Chains A and B, each alone.
Chain A
Amino acid sequence: MLPHPALALLASAAIVVALIPLVYLAVRVAGAGWQRIVDEIFTARTAVLAGRSIGLAAVVTLACVVLGVGSAFLVTRTDLPGRRVFGVLAALPLAIPTYVAGFAWVSTVDNFAGFWDAALVLVLCSYPYVYLPTAAALTGADPAQEEVARSLGDGPWRAFMRTTLRQIRPAVVAGGLLVALYVLSDFGAVSIVRVDVFTRAIFTSINLGFDKTGALVLATVLVALTAAVLVGEVLTRQRGARYARLSGAGRPPARIGLGRLRWPAAGLIAAVAALALGVPAMSLLRWVAAGVSRPGSLAEVAVAAGNTLWVSALGALLTLLLALPVGLLLARAPGPLATVVDRLAYLPHALPGLVIGLSLVSFGTTVAFALYQTVWLLVLAYSTLFLPLAVGAVGAAAAQAPPALEEVAKSLGRGPMYVLRTITLRLTAPGLGAGAALVFLTCVKELPATLLLRPTNMDTLATELWTHTSFGAYAAAAPYALLLVLVAAVPTWWLSTRTGVSTRARLPITTGVAAGVPVEASAGTDLSTTAGIASAEIASAGMVTPGTSTGAGTRG
């Protein structure tokens, strides 16, 4: 007997969106014939590409985890000077698209190319994916466990390493997974910094020969790699682990005194921020100063900005709508169906935007012609691309909201829609907000799918930026780049403030155990993603509703 059958049905329907690119790949690749597939896949070159892509993903993920956890720890658990400022600065690189950062580095440093240079750019742009949820988790983690460890004789550092790190494991793994998939799919940085990985080979294949088949066969290999990463991630989970607060009032954890290391630590974080933010900023300013070309009129820039905001907002809305049943299913009815549906949302995430774009062109011209080259198909593309970000956010936020309240409401005679509207949505609202912010800012940066699917004559900041740089008119491109970063910086700043770093008030959290639904609910919820745990913590950070407490007496 399937629990929550309506929810399961809705969630499966929503996942159909994620399946569009996969179906497209399957159809096109099948049309290529077995011989072509074998020729394309089983070559030395493919092996080299796969090795390099995985290698890049591994290196960047590792570095991001170190950097993300390190900054989160310094900002939330030590007496770092200026930690509120650093708390925000550490998250801001998320607002910079990798193609802008790549350009900036290539034009600043001579001979900037190859594997390690690309890894540097990718690390600097994606470590916030680990930083944000880790910081939220650290602020929200139960200090009681650490205190127990201290009372049993561990020093502050040892307590951190052995206890706290384990508490924040789901957040770190979730962030790491997102980084890994992001690196597999990224095209902007690797093409500008010129390292030969899968996405670049796919793009070159389409570019060099107008022949999609070879490119799509490679894209299928990329999907296989993604599946492998996802399976690997599932295997790293510990069964039955509990991460929720056990009992007692929430209170701020003790901050570790850094002593002599205060200023060197601050210097370190400042250096990272300078590299991640300063180099692109300086580069953009230099372009404006050095070039003659100027962007079109202010009206043109304003229209592009307006289009970006409109399309990204719609993208965030649709993605969240689609993610809602999936996330709720994960939280309320974890099980094999929920896991499969959740993982399916991830599979297209590592595909480059170009492939997703082409798959939707195909979908648009064959199935949904009325939507072709309208904003709606573009918005659908965004949902396909960014569904995992939202699913995690919804799932974790829903896991945080105790089902007991919903059950009480139903027992008092309210219908399911009423319960959804007044209780579930209200409780998960902050988490949903964080998910929406994350999807919004990622939509703002998106380029290849936008180029293929936008309505003719509609320009966004990203496409205008691309137009000008492809002709070498860097000075004209710079204002668009700056505006793009600024627009993306707003939700990023909001996300970073929600981690609780900058608020004095302390954070209540989860009632997971008390509600009988552990935060690490069997297969699904926990490690879903970044914004997943992030937004759960972020949600609780700002949330002071009485509803979060249950019989365990956790403070609301």
Chain B
Amino acid sequence: MRLSRSLALTLGSLLLASFGLAACGSEDEPGDKRLTVYSGRSENLVGPILQEFQEESGITVEVRYGDTAAMAAQLLEEGDRSPADVFLAQDAGALGAVSKAGLFADLPDDVLQKVPAAYRANNGHWVGVTGRSRVLVYNPDLVPESELPASVFELTEEKWRGKVGIAPTNASFQAFITAIRVDHGDDRAREFLSGLVANEAQVRDNNVLIVRDVADGKLAVGLVNHYYVFGQAKEAGVPVEEYGAKLHFFKDGDTGALVNVSGVGILNKAASDPDARALVEFLLGTRAQTYFAEQTFEYPVVSGVPTAPGLPELAALEVPDIDLNDLDTLQETIQMITDAGLA
């Protein structure tokens, strides 16, 4: 059977060739104008700005997108053999976990100085890139402004029974509960969680679903991050003032006003790579910060960049006095959330 023999030979050589190609690994050397980025932030959000960086600097950026937690798990699994140079994470918890595993390199001082101390790691392993404020999203038809709660702890009261949407498997919610633990103690946090359960808080899988349900009137209020409303208004094609869900920022340093950060860190193997440093500096530069302010509606952490219209200034937010570095004691928080039956 001449045909099948030659077919087998062809297939065999193809296989060998591709193995060969695969074996010629694509290791990034420092200064070779190539970077591998693991991004826990989605392509819609950071793709364009990374593309701009690539064009401006001439450095080829290969981005691997995924869910922040899965990316962190992958990094931890890969360890020192990870192909990643830079890790862009959705929240401080993931950065803390990777830092704890000893996978991050120390960032240079001048980079660290660009960001206020509250929004970067104490040990200099990561810096925040954008700020994300916890808010209460509400439907103005169902909840007039005068009835909005002054503190997030009021949501366990009778008048909010069955009306509050939460996403307990979301990293931001988890960070928020950790903030309560840091600010008010473990008992208060436990009380709050069981109060939510007793008050029939409505569980959703992610923040987008909460915002959509609030806008549709299926939920009265929800605990989410501030930028989703802008994103969903854009998706629905209406200006944010006309969108069915509105934002309420908690005041007076209430824990509900927590501002978390998305951030970036450089992996050990790229510690001396000028390309990695260039990316971090770009993300903290005016152009990228303006992009985040205008396109993703997040808070720039660098001073001198204005926030999106319709959003109160970062400095004007009455945030609780919490050090984000303390938010990495995740295990206990998770235990509490699961014990309360929320996840």
Chain A residues in contact with chain B, CB under 8 A? 45, 110, 191-192, 194, 204-212, 290-293, 354, 358, 361-362, 365-366, 369-376, 421-422, 451-452, 456-457, 467-468, 470-475
The contact sample of 16 A-B pairs, CB cut-off 8 A, is A191-B205, A207-B67, A208-B330, A208-B334, A209-B97, A210-B69, A358-B74, A361-B74, A365-B77, A370-B22, A371-B22, A374-B22, A457-B64, A468-B44, A471-B208, A472-B211
Q: A456 and B62: CB pair below 8 A?
A: yes
Partner pick for A204 among B42, B83, B169, CB 8 A cutoff: B169
Q: B62 and A291: CB pair below 8 A?
A: no
Contacts of A210 in B (CB 8 A): 69, 72-73, 76, 93-94, 97, 330
Contacts of A208 in B (CB 8 A): 69, 169, 171, 174, 330, 333-334, 337-338, 343
Looking at A361, A468, A475, the one whose CB has the most chain B CB atoms below 10 A away is: A361
User: In angstroms, how far is the closest chain B Cβ from the Cβ of A283?
Assistant: 14
CB nearest neighbor in A for B174: A208
Q: B171 and A207: CB pair below 8 A?
A: yes
B9 within 8 A of A: no
- Kindly state the separation between the CA atoms of A472 and B213 in the bound complex, as whole angstroms: 12
B1 within 8 A of A: yes
Q: How many residue pairs bridge A and B at CB < 8 Å?
A: 127
Contacts of B77 in A (CB 8 A): 212, 358, 361-362, 365
User: In angstroms, how far is the closest chain A Cβ from the Cβ of B233?
Assistant: 10
Q: B205 and A194: CB pair below 8 A?
A: yes
Contacts of B331 in A (CB 8 A): 209, 211
User: Which stretch in B109-117, B126-134, B234-242, B265-273 binds the other chain?
Assistant: B234-242
- Kindly state the separation between the CA atoms of A110 and B202 in the bound complex, as whole angstroms: 13
Contacts of B70 in A (CB 8 A): 206-207, 354, 451-452
Q: B19 and A376: CB pair below 8 A?
A: yes
Looking at B70, B76, B171, B203, the one whose CB has the most chain A CB atoms below 10 A away is: B70
Contacts of B174 in A (CB 8 A): 208
Contacts of A45 in B (CB 8 A): 338
- Kindly state the separation between the CA atoms of A373 and B78 in the bound complex, as whole angstroms: 11
CB nearest neighbor in B for A463: B65
In the A-B complex, the 4 residue pairs with the smallest Cβ-Cβ separation, listed nearest first, are A472-B208, A210-B97, A292-B237, A370-B23
Q: B83 and A373: CB pair below 8 A?
A: yes
CB nearest neighbor in B for A425: B4
Q: A471 and B74: CB pair below 8 A?
A: no
- Kindly state the separation between the CA atoms of A45 and B169 in the bound complex, as whole angstroms: 17
B307 within 8 A of A: no
If A194-B203, A210-B97, A370-B23 are given as contacts, then 14 extra A-B residue pairs at C-beta distance below 8 Å, sorted by A number, are A207-B67, A207-B169, A208-B169, A208-B171, A210-B73, A211-B331, A292-B234, A354-B70, A369-B25, A375-B18, A457-B64, A467-B43, A470-B208, A474-B235
Contacts of A474 in B (CB 8 A): 235
Taking CB atoms and an 8 Å cut-off, the chain B residues in 150-204 that contact chain A are 169, 171, 174, 203-204
Looking at B43, B211, B228, B234, the one whose CB has the most chain A CB atoms below 10 A away is: B43
Contacts of A370 in B (CB 8 A): 19, 22-23, 25
User: In angstroms, how far is the closest chain B Cβ from the Cβ of A456?
Assistant: 4
Contacts of B218 in A (CB 8 A): 110
Looking at B93, B174, B334, the one whose CB has the most chain A CB atoms below 10 A away is: B334
B305 within 8 A of A: no
- Kindly state the separation between the CA atoms of A505 and B253 in the bound complex, as whole angstroms: 78
Q: B232 and A472: CB pair below 8 A?
A: yes
Contacts of A361 in B (CB 8 A): 74, 77-78
B30 within 8 A of A: no
Q: A358-B73, A472-B235 are in contact. Are A467 and B42 (CB under 8 A)?
A: yes
Contacts of B212 in A (CB 8 A): 472
Chain B positions 314 through 333: 1 when the CB is less than 8 Å from some CB of chain A, otherwise 0? 00000000000000001101
B45 within 8 A of A: yes
B283 within 8 A of A: no
Q: A292-B237, A361-B78, A369-B25 are in contact. Are A471 and B44 (CB under 8 A)?
A: yes
Q: A467 and B65: CB pair below 8 A?
A: yes
Q: A208-B337, A210-B69, A212-B76 are in contact. Are A457 and B169 (CB under 8 A)?
A: no
- Kindly state the separation between the CA atoms of A311 and B248 in the bound complex, as whole angstroms: 47
CB nearest neighbor in A for B45: A471
Partner pick for B231 among A211, A362, A372, A471, CB 8 A cutoff: A471
User: In angstroms, how far is the closest chain B Cβ from the Cβ of A320?
Assistant: 13
B79 within 8 A of A: yes
- Kindly state the separation between the CA atoms of A525 and B338 in the bound complex, as whole angstroms: 43
Q: B74 and A452: CB pair below 8 A?
A: yes
B285 within 8 A of A: no
Partner pick for A206 among B69, B211, B231, B333, CB 8 A cutoff: B69
User: In angstroms, how far is the closest chain B Cβ from the Cβ of A46?
Assistant: 11
Contacts of A191 in B (CB 8 A): 205
- Kindly state the separation between the CA atoms of A535 and B324 in the bound complex, as whole angstroms: 58
Contacts of A209 in B (CB 8 A): 97, 330-331, 334
Q: B64 and A456: CB pair below 8 A?
A: yes
Q: A422 and B1: CB pair below 8 A?
A: yes
Taking CB atoms and an 8 Å cut-off, the chain B residues in 8-41 that contact chain A are 18-19, 22-23, 25, 36
B81 within 8 A of A: yes
Contacts of B259 in A (CB 8 A): none
Q: A212-B77, A369-B81, A467-B44 are in contact. Are A421 and B4 (CB under 8 A)?
A: yes
Contacts of A475 in B (CB 8 A): 235
Contacts of B25 in A (CB 8 A): 369-370
Contacts of A211 in B (CB 8 A): 330-331, 334
- Kindly state the separation between the CA atoms of A413 and B26 in the bound complex, as whole angstroms: 50
CB nearest neighbor in B for A196: B343
B124 within 8 A of A: no
B66 within 8 A of A: yes
- Kindly state the separation between the CA atoms of A361 and B43 in the bound complex, as whole angstroms: 22
Contacts of B1 in A (CB 8 A): 421-422
B63 within 8 A of A: yes
Contacts of B18 in A (CB 8 A): 375-376
B295 within 8 A of A: no
- Kindly state the separation between the CA atoms of A475 and B43 in the bound complex, as whole angstroms: 16
Taking CB atoms and an 8 Å cut-off, the chain B residues in 223-264 that contact chain A are 228, 231-232, 234-237
Q: A470 and B97: CB pair below 8 A?
A: no
CB nearest neighbor in B for A452: B74
Contacts of B74 in A (CB 8 A): 358, 361, 452
- Kindly state the separation between the CA atoms of A491 and B156 in the bound complex, as whole angstroms: 52
B206 within 8 A of A: yes
User: In angstroms, how far is the closest chain A Cβ from the Cβ of B211?
Assistant: 8
- Kindly state the separation between the CA atoms of A293 and B76 in the bound complex, as whole angstroms: 34
Q: A457 and B235: CB pair below 8 A?
A: no
Looking at B67, B171, B231, B234, the one whose CB has the most chain A CB atoms below 10 A away is: B67
CB nearest neighbor in B for A113: B203
User: In angstroms, how far is the closest chain B Cβ from the Cβ of A17?
Assistant: 16
Q: B76 and A473: CB pair below 8 A?
A: no
Q: B81 and A365: CB pair below 8 A?
A: yes
CB nearest neighbor in A for B72: A210
Q: A456 and B63: CB pair below 8 A?
A: yes
Contacts of B81 in A (CB 8 A): 365-366, 369, 372
- Kindly state the separation between the CA atoms of A471 and B41 in the bound complex, as whole angstroms: 10
